Chain A
Amino acid sequence: MFSLMKAAVGGLTGVCRVNGHQQGPLHCHLKVLVAGLQTYEIPPDYSDVVLPAKPKLKFVNKVPNLKKPKREPKKLRDIQGPTRGADSFTQGQYGIVALGGGYLHWGHIEMMRLTINRKMDARTMFARWCISGPYKPITRKGLGQRMGGGKGAIDHYVTPVRYGRLIVEVGGKVELEEVKHILTEVAKKLPFPAQVVSRESLAALKKKHADMEQNNQNPWTFKQIVQGNMLGIRRVVSPFDVHHCGRFSGKFHFPGRV
């Protein structure tokens, strides 16, 4: 009985037995190799990423709580030119950067908040506002009113945004591809041209402009001609253009200008 079993087992193992190495009942003798060698990229290590307690975007008020809201002049220069601050990442890895100037009102902010909060995964990512709530009052006169009669009443509030400002930041244990589709959806709906960036791509954008300035083959530059007032060109060039070297016109930014 035992000898029979032994023989059976021995026979079975004999079929699969390999010459003393790489033994195992399921081991295949034939090794199929390909010309190359598949090397797998090591996935990124997120052990040092800390998610905040409240990962979702906070609710932003439509109206700032002021005791006496004052009417302000239009001051469209808060849209003009590049941003003075808030143009770099603080906590997140990916974000939306404005490529033009414009006003964000509460509707835009709500759209961003709802879309991002709905589409993001609160367990692995967090989002943060880089802009404040609307604070600039915009006045409107009633329908059918004639010109004159003083300034209108405050209708709503807006947040001015300049070129280069970050709107929203997203971070966490995610890669760009997981977050890109959410942010592009939001960026398309903004009232100014906007782009989804990561830390590296934002640095690359800035570097690109610096490189363009460096390797420009044109011997004539806007700055040189205007600062020297060659041909009396200051007559048609505004002080704003002198400062910004023709890269901006109103709220628009020209990426091709150096």
Chain B
Amino acid sequence: MLLTSSSPLYFFLMSLRSMFVLSPLDFLHKLRVQLCRPAAAEAGWLPVTQSVRHGSKAVTRHRKPIHILKQKLLAVTKYVPPTPVVPKGAYPFERQEVKEESGFVLLLKRELKKLFQDYKMVAVAQNCNSNAEDMRILKHRLHRHGIAVKFFPNQVMCSFLSDSVYSNMAPLFIGPTVLFVSKEPKVKEMLTSLRSSPQMTLLGACIDNTLLSAQGVVSYSKLPSVSVVQGELVSGLTMMTAHTASMLLRHPAHLSALLQQYVKQQSSEEAPKAEEAT
């Protein structure tokens, strides 16, 4: 028998050749493989057909159909947002947003603080439809008496007042307001100047750390000046002593006549009292 390349014996001998290099297990495996392969494949003129099963791809352009059980799982594990206790829009937003105050607002507040410290009288008026001309005239009139005219935005004013002692003045600052400030409380002059300008309406004032309404300001203006009141008080206190002093300066005959009359009066009073007692 010729030892051809296709005979099993040939394979056996070829594999024996490699036996000394590889392990016995590899040798046996190789032998088995080589014995199982068809002879024609060894020549190489037939393609080796192998059927492989291809599954569907994971990454697709379309949304892949999902298994019903997975659909159920996804439905069960959906995101559930927390429900608010109070439905939205039921109550108005109570908490006010605290805004950081800009530098300008802080500057205005500092000015206001100085104003309330320096000036004794701070009057608030509302101006409607006053021209620049009217304003100029009013400012001039007030300046003659030492009253200055100040403008501040209502927002800044209200926020300043709410923190300070003068919080009760806050309701006055609604609408276009003007401040009349002066070191000395010159109310009468201010009222006369304001009477001449019909656009200005006095709302209230803070005079000597006392809040006054419009009527209060009017009555304050009607008060006599401090010196007059002091004089009156002094005269009232010293009235008795002054009267006595003036009386003593009279003629002694006059005084003695008065004393006699007084004694008579006393006796006449005592007699009816004694009669009543008995």
| A221, B79: Cα distance in complex, Å | 8
Residues A212 and B79 in contact, CB atoms below 8 Å apart? yes
Question: What total of chain A residues lie within 8 Å of the partner, measured CB to CB?
Answer: 43
In the complex with contacts A35-B155, A39-B105, A220-B76 CB distance below 8 A: yes
Q: Are B77 and A225 in contact (CB under 8 A)?
A: yes
How far apart are the CA atoms of A235 and B69 in the complex, in Å?
9
User: Which residues of B from 138 to 166 have beta carbons under 8 Å from A?
Assistant: 139-140, 143, 151-156
B132 contact from A28, A101, A216, A257, Cβ within 8 A: A28
B82 is an interface residue with CB less than 8 A from chain A: yes
Cross-interface CB contact of A218 among B60, B77, B155, cutoff 8 Å: B77
Contact with B along A24-37 (1 / 0, CB 8 A): 00001111011111
Would B139 and A250 count as touching, CB distance under 8 A? no
- Smallest CB gap from A41: residue in B: B102
Complex CA distance for A29 and B134, rounded to whole angstroms: 9
Chain A residue numbers with a CB within 8 Å of B135 are 29-30
Partner of B58, one of A37, A218, A238: A238
A3: Cβ under 8 A from any B Cβ: no
Q: How many A-B residue pairs have CB under 8 A?
A: 99
The reply to whether A31 and B151 contact each other, CB–CB distance below 8 Å, is: yes
A19-B140, A36-B155, A246-B74 known; A216 and B60 CB under 8 Å?
A: no
A250 touches B154 (CB 8 A): no
Asked whether A256 is an interface residue with its Cβ less than 8 Å from the other chain, the reply is yes
Interface stretch, picked from A4-12, A74-82, A105-113, is: A74-82
The complex places the Cα of A195 from the Cα of B124 at a distance, in Å, of 56
A157 CB–B CB distance under 8 Å? no
B interface list, Cβ under 8 A from A: 57-60, 63-64, 66-67, 69-70, 73-74, 76-83, 102, 104-105, 130-132, 135-136, 139-140, 143, 151-156, 176
What are 23 A-B contacts with C-beta separation under 8 Å?
A19-B140, A19-B143, A33-B152, A33-B154, A37-B105, A77-B59, A80-B58, A215-B82, A216-B81, A217-B80, A218-B80, A220-B77, A221-B77, A222-B73, A222-B74, A225-B73, A225-B76, A225-B77, A231-B69, A237-B70, A246-B73, A246-B74, A251-B59
Chain A to chain B: the 7 pairs with minimum beta-carbon distance, closest first: A19-B143, A76-B59, A217-B80, A30-B132, A218-B80, A236-B67, A222-B77
Residues of A within 8 A of B (CB): 18-20, 28-31, 33-37, 39, 76-77, 79-80, 101, 212, 215-218, 220-222, 225-226, 231, 233, 235-238, 240, 246, 249-252, 256-258
